[in-house]
Amino acid sequence: MGHVWLEGDNLQNSMDSRYYGPIPYGLIRGRIFFKIWPLSDFGFLRASPNGHRFSDD
């Protein structure tokens, strides 16, 4: 627990969890604000999809 699986959008050139493995939440510096897939959920996110909140520091 406490880890996420991250994949880049360029399968051939992304160094992501397929290369590094799961990433600890504590190393993430960013915020997700828009979802494009599945198309039925396309749009801005109103809340965290998994209930976790990240600090802005």
What is the rounded end-to-end Cα distance, in angstroms, of the chain?
A: 22
Burial of 16 (0-12, 13-18, 19+ CB in 10 A): middle
Give the pLDDT of residue 53.
57
- At residue 49, the pLDDT reads 57
- pLDDT of 57 reads 46
pLDDT tens string for the chain (57 positions)? 689 898 888 888 999 999 999 999 888 887 778 888 889 989 888 766 566 555 544
Alpha carbons 48 and 43: distance in angstroms, whole number: 13
Q: What is the pTM of this model?
A: 0.51
Query: What pLDDT is attached to residue 47?
Result: 66
